[in-house]
Chains A and B, each alone.
Chain A
Amino acid sequence: MVDDVFDEVGLKVEDLHASYGAVEVLRGLDFEVAAKGVSVILGANGAGKTTTLRAICNMCNTSGKVTLGDDDITRTGTAEIVRKGVAHVPQGRGTFPELSVLDNLMIGAYTRKDKEVKDDVDRWFEIFPRLSERSDQLAGSLSGGEQQMLAVARALMCRPRLLLLDEPSLGLAPLIIEDLFERFTTLNKETGLTMLVVEQNANLALDMADYGYVIESGEITLSGSAEKLKNDPAVQEAYLGA
C-alpha cells in the first residue's frame, strides 16, 4: 500500500493481524516508518492503535511481518526486540510502582553495558527536575503526570533506535506537553531517533511528524505526509476539531 515511500525504512509492517482470543483487532495493517523519521498514528478510541504498538513488540497474538531496519523481528521475543533498540512507552503507566524513581531509570538502562548510564540519569533529572527531587520516592507514589514523565525518561534510558510512544501526552499539563514534544523533536533532529507516535493530540503530533496514518477498526483508512493529513477535511473534522 505504501511500498517504498521512504528512501530508508526504519520500521516496516506488512499485513499485520492481531487478536485477543477470538476477536480480531488488527485486520491486516501495512505501514512504514522512515529511518530517522517521525510517523504518527491517529484513530478513534478502540481503533487498535495500542494493539498495533503491542503487536510490533510481539506482546500479543499476531501474524504478519514486522521488519526493523533489515531485521525480521516478527517472531522475536519482546525482551530481544528491546535489545535490538526498540523502546516502548506503553499507554497509561509503564512504570514500576514498587521501585524508586532512580531504580526505574536504572532498569530502563538494563540492556546497556556502557559507562554512561549515570550521565544519562543526570541528564533526565535535569530535564525533569520534579523527578530529580523525588529520586528515592517509590514510583507508585508519583502523580499521574510525574509517572508519565518517568515512563518516557525510562524508555529513553536504553538509547533506542526506534521509540514507540503510546499517547505520551496523557494526563500531562499543556505546558509540559509542549515542552515534552519539543524535546522529542530535538531528540529526533539531534540523534536521528526514529519515532512512531500514537496521539490523541493530533495537532501537536502532526506538527512533529513527517508522515501519518489513520486507523479505523483495525485497518488503515488514510495515510500521507503530515501536511497532507493536516489539510485533509476528514482528518480535520475527526481529529483536529476543525
Chain B
Amino acid sequence: MTWNFDVLPDFIFNGLSLGAIYGTVALALVLIFKATTLINFATGELAMLGAFLVYVLHMEQGLWLWLSMLLAMLLSAGLGVLIERSLTRPFDPEDHLPVVLITLGLFLIINAVAGDIWNYQVRILTNPFGKFPDWVPSVGGDRFVEVLGSRLKYQSIGIWVTLAVALFVLGLILNKTRAGLAFRAVSSNVESARLVGVHTGRTLGFGWAIASAFGTLGAVLVAPQLGGVNPNMMATILIYALAGAALGGLDSLGGAVLGGILVGLIQAVLVTWGGVVVFGQLYMSILQLAAAFLIILIVLLFRPSGLFGTRRVERV
C-alpha cells in the first residue's frame, strides 16, 4: 500500500463530515456518562430507531423531511425519558452491572424489533443535503463546490451547519435554562444537587431525552453515507463514537464533538494510506475499525481522561 496524497483534501473533507457525525453520537454517549458515569450501549440502537422513525414519517407518510426529523427527535427524546424512568431509575447508579445489562438488553430488543419490522434491508432515506437548493449560485456542480482543487460536498457543508446549529441549541439549553442548570449540577455533584432541591431522577431523564435526540440526529445524517437506513446501521458508528468520546474525554461535551471529528480525520487519513477511493459511500476499511480500537487503547494508556476530560480519572 502507498500513500495517495492527491485525494487527501477529499478525504479530509469526508473525514470532517463523518467525524461530525461521530461527534454527534459521541455527544449522546457523553451526555449520559457525564450525569451517571454509565455508558449507554443502546445509544446506537435508539439512534437507529430514530432514523427509522424519520423513514416512516418521511418516506412512508410523506411528511416534510425536516419536520419528520424534528418529530423523530422529539419521539426519541420521549422514549429516552421513558427508558430512564422505567428501566434505569430503580437501580443504584453506583452499581454499574445492572444498568449496563439493561442497556445491552435494550440494544438486543430494539435491534430485533426493528429487524422484524424492517427485515435488515437497507432502505433509502432522502439525503437532507443531496443537492444544493435552487437559490444557491452554482459554483462547480449542484452537489459540491470546488475548494483547493477538490470537491467539497454540499452534504459535508450541510452536516457541519446542522451540527453547529444543534450544538448552539444544546449550549442554550444547558446554559440558559433551569433544566440545563439542574443537569449540569447533577453531573457535577449528585448529592449537593439533591440538597438544592433538584429532582435528580427527572434531571437524568432530561439528559436521556437530549441524548436520544442527538443520537437520532446523528443516525439521520449518517444514513445517506450508508446508502440508507437498516437495523444494523449503527453498529460500527457506535464504536467510532465510543472512540471519539474516549479520545475527547468521557465527561467532556466539547471533547466528545472534537474527539469524534478527530476520529473521522484519522479514519480519512487511513483511507488515503490504503489508496482506495470510494466516492459518495462511506468506505469502511478494515483498518479503520481497528484504528478506533487502537485509539481507545492508546488514550487509556497515555491519557485516560482524554484530551479534554475535566474530571480527574481515578487511578486504582
Contacts and interface: CB of A to CB of B under 8 A. Distances in A.
B163 to A, nearest CB: 24
B123 interface: no
Interface in A82-130: 82-83, 87-88, 90, 94-99, 103, 106-108, 110-111
A57 B184 CA distance: 22
Contacts of B195: 57, 59, 78, 82, 87-88, 90, 94, 155
Contacts of B311: 98
Nearest to A78: B194
Contacts of B197: 79-80, 82-83, 110-111, 158
Nearest to B192: A94
Q: How large is the interface on A (under 10, 10 to 19, 20 to 34, 35 or more residues)?
A: 20 to 34
Contacts of B194: 59, 78-79, 82
Contacts of B310: 98
A154 interface: yes
A61 to B, nearest CB: 13
A108 B185 CA distance: 10
Contact of B189 (A79, A83, A95, A106): A95
B297 to A, nearest CB: 28
A110 B182 contact: yes
Interface in B56-114: none
B200 interface: yes
Contacts of B182: 107, 110
Contacts of B198: 79, 107, 110
A59 B188 contact: no
A115 to B, nearest CB: 14
A36 B181 CA distance: 32
Of residues B184, B185, B194, B196, which shows the largest number of chain A Cβ atoms within 10 Å of its Cβ?
Answer: B196
Q: How large is the interface on B (under 10, 10 to 19, 20 to 34, 35 or more residues)?
A: 20 to 34
A1 B301 CA distance: 60
A96 B191 contact: no
Contacts of B196: 82, 107-108, 110-111, 154, 158
Interface string A209-221: 0000000000000
A103 B181 contact: yes
Contacts, number: 69
Contacts of B200: 79
A99 B195 CA distance: 16
B199 interface: yes
Contacts of A82: 194-197
A173 to B, nearest CB: 24
Nearest to B34: A98
A90 B192 contact: yes
A203 to B, nearest CB: 28
Interface string A222-240: 0000000000000000000
A111 B195 CA distance: 11
A26 to B, nearest CB: 19
A79 B199 contact: yes
B187 interface: yes
Contacts of A107: 181-182, 185, 193, 196, 198
A230 to B, nearest CB: 31
What are the 7 tightest A-B residue pairs by CB atom distance, in nearest-first order?
A82-B197, A111-B197, A96-B188, A98-B188, A78-B194, A107-B185, A79-B199
18 contacts: A59-B191, A59-B194, A78-B194, A78-B195, A79-B199, A90-B191, A94-B189, A94-B195, A95-B192, A96-B184, A96-B189, A97-B188, A99-B185, A99-B188, A110-B181, A110-B196, A111-B197, A158-B197
Interface of A: 57, 59, 77-80, 82-83, 87-88, 90, 94-99, 103, 106-108, 110-111, 154-155, 158
